[in-house]
Structure 1
Amino acid sequence: MAPAYKRILLKVSGEALAGDNSFGIEPPFLQAVAKQIADVANSGVEIAIVVGGGNIFRGMAGAADGTDRVTADMMGMLGTMINALALSNAISRQGAKSKPYSAVSMPSVADTFTARDAKLSLEDGFVVVMGGGIGNPFFTTDTASTLRAIELDCDVVLKGTKVDGVYSEDPMKNPNATRYETVSYDEVIGKNLRVMDTAAFALARDNAMPIIVYALDDTAGLAGVLAGTTRSTRVGTPL
């Protein structure tokens, strides 16, 4: 059976890559996620990835204390590049072609992102892993993921997090929080359901880009999300 989506944008939060640690990258979890991605890529689905940097930046929080917002955001962008390089390399080790891109020019580290080049890489079978956010301060990697999905003509944004969908409150703090199977863009913005930031949801709404939120450590993995068997929440118009 043909996959439900031909080209997807996967948002991987930095916090998720930390696994059970408070910061940094947990190598076994990184390899497990990379295998999920490689298996799906080798099945013919084109995959673009935007990575966050919370796991790196949290470890630098003391150094950033008192730093102005622009400098702190630049530090965060560099953190996302560490994750992008680690994830791209891990995907290659799992048997799929992968290429890292940076929104901030650093040619000795990664290709500078342009939608044209990234689309060509996707068409050539590479998993495209993007770091550096959008290259500007004051924008989150959630917004970057929605923007890149639109630029790259993706069919859907998949956000892999530590929770299995969108909840009325943080389920880690309130185990009685209500979980949504589906939720509209306006509802998620109006109720301030902050699994992604408001700008990301508004951009998705204005461009009719669906978002699926799921737990990155789900046993069925990315393939389960695409098959519709993994527990998740769909934000936007129903299928």
Structure 2
Amino acid sequence: MLDALLAALTTPGLVWLVLITIVAGIVYGFAGFGAALIYMPVSVIFLTPVMAIAAFSVSAMSSLVTVFPRALPLVNRKAVAVLILSAVVAASFGIWVLRVADVTAIRWVVVVVCTVTLAALIAGWRHSVEPTLPTRVMIGGAAGFIGGLSGLTGPIMVLFQLAGRDGIATTRATTVVFLTATSLLMLPLMAAQGVLTAQAVALGSLLLIPYGVGALIGQALFRPERERFYRVIAYAIIGLATLVGMPFWDTL
């Protein structure tokens, strides 16, 4: 494990990874979403998608002691449990695709998912979806598969939540609980498929503190009455991260 830690400390772009992780944590803390949309496009500049996703899942465990405890009492636990279980089952297939797919192709998947999600959010896209059991299974499964493949578990879930009638506090809490739980439960799935390496655990552990500190800062900033302001800030940061993370910059 010491060798893995030393390797993590020499990771190319570690300073940038720490900074983007702090920013991702802050946005996640006040908006309840957007951490992976900010972290993934930038992290895959320096890391392989496999390493970036595994390390981020480890760092996301800090949410268990930062934003998760305050969010849990605000959610419909049965509904969220269905979403989480569906996501975890589907994530295994997404992780398998991640293992065998081309690295550049995965990077473009990340960029496309981020871009489409951001465009839908900015446009105020809403599609009325009846929150039935089959619907939750479908949404959870789709989110889990995309999450296992690209590390972006949140976009489908966020759009599903925003299409509902819950207030901003409940919507934010539901997304926080879902993302925290799925990130934790995906770790053994990654380990079983050889994705969760010792170096990924070490790097994720290094990023755990900056992510947790960022989330605490964001949570302290959260005010339900300033929802619009938070979203504008989150959208701007997501857009910038997506632009920076586009693979075609590598050829310039």
Would you call these one fold, judging by a TM-score over 0.5? no
Q: Which structure has the higher relative contact order (CA within 8 Å, separation 6+)? A: 2
**Structure with the larger strand share:** 1
TM-score by length of 2: 0.27
TM-score by length of 1: 0.28
